[in-house]
Structure 1
């Protein structure tokens, strides 16, 4: 059975087949985790990213992971949270598409161990409760195709929020 693991720490030090990178639509160096990934990979990543076609919100692209303990980066452009206004439901659908696109691309490439940050919950400001509910729903629906799906949060507080959502909607592991 596939393990969906929730943890916190430095995602850039964790091993696996692929790491999900929140991306800018042109796969240029972004903010937050994207900036950290680009800094870690050095100048090798930029040329590969510039050869990719633009990546609309909700889609995914694959590159090598240069100097990270994974083989690939799965870039996905997450939606901006708009405080639950009239565009909030569209952003939620787009966030689900990010997870689905990444998992489909990982499956096509034969990746079995995927590392996820809390997509959308960083610089794009999705509340962790919403990001967790959407992310866990999609991860659970695709879990049978993978050995391990890890969501690495940036703090113990974020981890506790994701664990609370997991217990509330999906029960204990």
Structure 2
């Protein structure tokens, strides 16, 4: 079974087969991590993304990872956090689908070492504890198909949230 690693730092400095990147539905430069990835990938990444079909929330697309220490980028469109209102359940399902789609695409391409940010917890404002529960449930269920799944958080506080969720619900 794959090791699931929770860490804190610069995800763009880590090595793996693929980086899962939050994306805009047209795979254009977005905000946050997406903007950093596009800055490093430059015109080659933008051209590769132009060739991809539109990506709905929860789906994933793959491109080469120009200028990054990984081979591929798995782009996935994350939902907006709706603050737990009447659409909150749909956002949770969509967030889970982001992880499922990225893992399915990685499995299809034979990618074994994946890097994940806290999908949805950045500019889309999911609380880390909620994002962590959705992510870790999917990652733990599918870990056997991979060598290593790394979730890299921006802050020690976020890392603490994810570790508490993992310990409480997954016994790690």
Same fold (TM over 0.5): yes
Q: Which runs of 5+ in 1 are unaligned?
A: none
Equivalent residue number for residue 116 of structure 2: 116
Equivalent residue number for residue 84 of structure 1: 84
Structure 1 residue 43 displacement after superposition: 1.4
Which consecutive aligned stretches of 4+ in structure 1 deviate over 4 angstroms post-superposition?
Answer: none
- Cα deviation 1:84-114 (Å, max 9, x = unaligned): 0000000000000000000000000000000
Q: Does residue 147 of the first structure (1) align with residue 147 of the second (2)?
A: yes
Structure 1 residue 51 displacement after superposition: 0.8
User: TM-score normalized by structure 1?
Assistant: 0.98
Equivalent residue number for residue 26 of structure 2: 26
For these two proteins, the number of residue pairs brought into alignment is 172
Equivalent residue number for residue 103 of structure 1: 103
Within 5 A, what are the aligned runs for 1:55-74?
A: 55-74=55-74
CA distance in 1, matches of 2:14, 2:111: 15
- Cα deviation 1:48-107 (Å, max 9, x = unaligned): 101100000000000000111110000000000010000000000000000000000000
Structure 1 residue 15 displacement after superposition: 0.2
CA distance in 1, matches of 2:63, 2:162: 28
CA distance in 1, matches of 2:22, 2:30: 8
Structure 1 residue 44 displacement after superposition: 1.0
Equivalent residue number for residue 94 of structure 2: 94
